[in-house]
Amino acid sequence: MTTDSPLPAPRARRPFLRGCAIVALVFAAFFLLIGLVSRMDDWSLTSGDKVAVLPVTGLIADSEATIEQLKKFAKDDSVKAIVLRINSPGGGVGPSQEIYEEVKKLQGKKIVVASMGALAASGGYYIACAAQKIYANPGTITGSIGVIMSFISVKDLIGKIGVKGMVVKSGSFKDIGSPVRDMKPEEQKLLKEVVDNVHLQFVDAVAEGRKMDKKKVMKIADGRIFSGEQARELGLVDALGNLEDAVAEAGKMAKIEGEPRVVSPPKKKISIMELLKEEAKSIIGDKLTEYRIRLDYLAQ
Which residues are known catalytic residues?
122, 174
Q: How far out from the chain centre does Cα 250 lie?
A: 21
Spatial separation of the C-alpha atoms in residues 110 and 229, rounded to whole Å = 27
SS3 147: coil
d(CA 205, CA 129): 7
SS3 104: helix
Please tell me what DSSP assigns to residue 64.
H
Contact 131, 113 (CB under 8 A): yes
Nearest to 144 by CA among 181, 89, 99: 89
- DSSP-derived letter for residue 273 is H
Q: Are 299 and 121 in contact (CB under 8 A)?
A: yes
Contact indicator for 81, 110 with CB cutoff of 8 Å: yes
Distances (CA, A) of 125 to 87, 117, 157, 253: 10, 11, 38, 21
How many H helices and E strands in the chain? 11, 10
User: 74: how many CB neighbours lie within 10 A of its CB?
Assistant: 16
